[in-house]
Amino acid sequence: MITQMQVKGLMFDPYNNAYIVILRDDDQVEMLPIWVGKAEASSISLALEKVAPPRPMTHDFMKSYLDAFDAKVISVVITDLNENTYFAKIHLMYGDSEYAVDSRPSDAIALALRTEAPIFASESVIRKQSSEELGQWLENLKPEDFGKLDS
C-alpha cells in the first residue's frame, strides 16, 4: 500500500546543519521529514519556486534527457527506511515498458517536481518512521525554525 504525498516545504535543521524536505499526505495526517544535502535542497527549492537557472542543473538535465527519448516519469515512491536512510524508486515509462530505477529520495523528489509526477511513500516507511524520534526533534525546534515551512 502506498500513500500519495505532497512536498509542503523545505526547512533548515540547525541541530544537524542539514535541510529537511517535508512531505505530507493529502489529509495532512502523515508527515515524512527527509533530511537532504544543501545541493539537493537548492534543486528542490528551485523546482518548488518554478525558477529556471541560467544553465541546467543535474535534475533539469535528467528531465531533458528523459524528454529527448520520450521517456516519462510516472511516479516516485519512497520505498524504505533503514537505519535512518530513506530509499526511493523512480518509475519510468519508455515505449511500452515500465522501469523502476533506484534513487536517493532527494533526487527522486527533485525530478518529480520538474516532471509534475506524483510522489508516494510506502505504508511501511510511514510506519517505520519513529514518532518518538520525530517528537523529540520537534520539541527541540524553536518557532523561528518553522519560517520556511509552507502550510
User: Is the predicted pLDDT of residue 151 greater than 50, yes or no?
Assistant: no
- Domain around 62: 2-146
The CA angle 85-30-144, to the nearest 5 degrees, is 80
User: Is the predicted pLDDT of residue 133 greater than 80, yes or no?
Assistant: no
Residue 101 lies in a domain: yes
pLDDT attached to residue 64:
94
Total domain count, the chain: 1
- Structure-model confidence comparison of residues 121 and 52, the more confident one: 121
Contacts of 87 (CB under 8 A, 6+ apart): 78, 79, 80, 81, 102, 105
Distance separating alpha carbons of residues 35 and 106, to the nearest angstrom: 8
Residue 8 lies in a domain: yes
| CATH number of the domain where residue 7 is located | 3.10.690.10
pLDDT attached to residue 130:
52
Residue 151 lies in a domain: no
Question: What is the DSSP pairing of strand 18-25 with strand 71-82?
Answer: unpaired
Read off the pLDDT of each residue in 109-117 and give the average, rounded to a whole number: 97
Contacts of 103 (CB under 8 A, 6+ apart): 76, 88, 89, 90, 111
Residue 84 lies in a domain: yes
Dump pLDDT digits (tens) for 66-107.
Answer: 999 999 999 999 999 988 899 999 999 999 999 999 999 999
pLDDT attached to residue 79:
97
Residues constituting the chain? 151
- Give me the helix-helix angle, 105-115 and 38-48, nearest 10°: 20
Residue 14 lies in a domain: yes
Residue 130 lies in a domain: yes
pLDDT attached to residue 13:
87
pLDDT attached to residue 135:
55
